[in-house]
Amino acid sequence: MKNTVKITDGITWVGASDRRLALFENIFPLTDGVAYNAYIVRGEKIALLDTADSSVVHQYLENVESELDGREPDYLIINHMEPDHCSLVADLMARWPKMQAVGTAKVPTLIKQFFGADISDRFTAVTDGDSLDLGGRTLHFVTTPMVHWPEVMVTYDDRTKTLFSADAFGSFGAHHGGIFDVDHFKNPAFEGEARRYYTNIVGKYGPQVLAALKKASALDIEYICPLHGPVWHDKISWTLEKHAAWASYTPETRGALVVYGSMYGNTASVAARVAREIAEKSGCEVKLMDASGTDKSYLVSEAFRLSHIVFAAPTYNMGLYPPVREFIDDLEALWVRGRTAAVIENGSWSPASGKIMREKIAALKDFTLLEPTLTIRGASVDESAINAFCDAVAASLGA
Ligand code: FEO
């Protein structure tokens, strides 16, 4: 059954949602699937903008065929070469032998590497300032390397002021009642999923996203059509504002994320007490999360949102409890910076977690480490030490 949506004059969404996928990139848990957006733009000539993941190939092809109504598309615009959008490129080039492909210069090599197809004789490489006249409308191309692969570009339709933004402005989550931002905002989980997508998938490339936002600011934009998540129209200022914060690693909220690891519940118990006292003393939001029971993508998302992070972990195998170590490693890998941190260590006969956490935090960019470290010995902790620790974090939060 075809399932297409008209976005605006001559632009139609022809994508599909995968509601069965459990792990995006085989890493990140999906609770509500993911949308693979693709588009058709019609002038006198017809352009397809990106394709889709192989998991939705039948829906995608049905949508495209219904819109083409027997015509052959003239162009396939390849904004992004990651296989969740490009798995069908070689098939479509074979299906429509006159169709020309358009993308940045790196695209043919990537297609060859991933799909073994040589499209170089039907490919036009474009770069900043280049455009494509479809007859009645012109597509303009803007390179946005590393958002989030090196070959990425975005495409701007001057007739409708529509930006096809590749991965930028994307989100986890399938489409339900509609594909537009106002439809997705009816889901209370949407904002968190948009943040979790950005921070984990694109989060490492903040400087490149800022450069892309700068280029986009020169454009008059009425629609943003990403490859995942909703089509932006009514909430464009919301997504631009959020991406400016995320890309610059600016906390959205003054508050503390308390992430703990705990084998027998002792570190967890202290973390819970500390979380409550910091909240009481500071009046700020405090979020308490178990590093063992929570997928790291959620921890990372909250680390982007909040200004302070309290790390609490026991010593394990003379080292740092692995779930907390992996969380800090993720912060480093994603270049998270500029947070204020505090440490709760636990160890009995040979405590090591505090020293390791302090060293790892010192390696994170522009992190400020508060004193004192709070020390737990098994299940024993000094009341006055808890008070001093919470006072220090609360004071830093502005209490
Ligand atoms: Fe959904 Fe970077 O691809």
Residue in the structure block whose two tokens are 């495409």: 155
CB of 137 shorter than 6 A to ligand 1 = no
CB of 277 shorter than 6 A to ligand 1 = no
The whole-number pLDDT of residue 312 equals 98
- Rounded CA separation 367/208 (Å): 21
Output the residue whose Cα is nearest ligand 1's atom 3.
Answer: 82
- Whether 16 and 174 have beta carbons less than 8 Å apart is answered as no
Domain boundaries, the chain: 5-247, 256-394
CATH topology of domain 256-394: Rossmann fold (3.40.50)
Stated pTM of the model: 0.96
Of ligand 1's listed atoms, the one at least distance from the Cα of 36 is: 1
Please give the distance, rounded to the nearest whole angstrom, from the Cα atom of residue 3 to the centre of ligand 1: 22
CB of 228 shorter than 6 A to ligand 1 = yes
Residue in the structure block whose two tokens are 């009046």: 283
Of ligand 1's listed atoms, the one at least distance from the Cα of 170 is: 1
Residues sharing a CB contact under 8 Å with residue 18, sequence separation 6 or more, in sequence order: 33, 34, 35, 36, 53, 55, 56, 174
CB of 80 shorter than 6 A to ligand 1 = yes
Other CB atoms closer than 10 Å to residue 125's CB: what's the count?
Answer: 14
CB of 18 shorter than 6 A to ligand 1 = no
CB of 84 shorter than 6 A to ligand 1 = yes
CATH topology of domain 5-247: Metallo-beta-lactamase; Chain A (3.60.15)
CB of 167 shorter than 6 A to ligand 1 = yes
The whole-number pLDDT of residue 216 equals 85
CB of 82 shorter than 6 A to ligand 1 = yes
Residue-level pLDDT, tens digit, the chain, 399 residues:
999 999 999 999 999 999 999 999 999 999 999 999 999 999 999 999 999 999 999 999 999 999 999 999 999 999 999 999 998 999 999 999 999 999 999 999 999 999 999 999 999 999 999 999 999 999 999 999 998 899 999 999 999 999 999 999 999 999 999 999 999 999 999 999 999 999 999 999 999 999 988 988 889 999 999 999 999 999 999 999 999 999 999 999 999 999 999 999 999 999 999 999 999 999 999 999 999 999 999 999 999 999 999 999 999 999 999 999 999 999 999 999 999 999 999 999 889 999 999 999 999 999 999 999 999 999 999 999 999 999 999 999 998
The percent helix, strand, coil of the chain (3-state, each to 5) is 35, 25, 40
Please give the distance, rounded to the nearest whole angstrom, from the Cα atom of residue 103 to the centre of ligand 1: 15
